[in-house]
Amino acid sequence: MSDNDPSQGEDLSARLDNLKARLDKSPARDSQKNDKPASGDRAGIAQAMKLSSEFIAGVVVGALIGYAFDRFFGTSPWGLIFFLMIGFAAAVLNVMRAAGVVAESGMRLHKVREQADRDTDGGES
């Protein structure tokens, strides 16, 4: 067979057309044609933005409290270091709560139950 054999070019064209047809039918191709992100993608991006802002806010608030503490008491840089670590820990806890990894504080739930018990006892008397 030579390189310029016409039957080889026709065979190649037929195989290429077959491949294009199969690719057009594939579900992956349909999802690539849709330029809009899926609603799950948008929800994931929103959750990521919420969690990152929770984390950043906790660290920034801790740093600001530490800076103010140092300025007021003249303990530089120990107040900043201490409150920055406290802010970091609070930020991690807030992110874990928002992500659903850690439950809400039991103290709050206990107070709600006490209030509900008082309301039901008050209604019966």
Percentage of residues in the chain with pLDDT exceeding 90? Answer: 41
- pLDDT given for residue 68 in this prediction: 96
pLDDT digits (tens, 9 = 90+) for 38-87: 777 888 899 999 999 999 999 999 999 999 999 999 998 999 999 999 99
Q: Mean pLDDT throughout 1-24?
A: 78
5/97 Cα distance (integer angstroms): 69
89 with 98: CB under 8 angstroms? Answer: no
pLDDT score recorded for residue 29 = 56
Amino acid at 85: M
What is the four-CA torsion angle of 56, 59, 64, 65, rounded to 10 degrees? Answer: 140
- Mean of the per-residue pLDDT values for the chain? 82
**Average pLDDT of 2-15?**
74
pLDDT interval class at 107 (50, 70, 90)? low
Residue 125's pLDDT is what?
46
Q: How confident is the model at residue 11 (pLDDT cuts 50, 70, 90)?
A: confident
Q: Would you list the domain boundaries of the chain? A: 1-35, 48-124
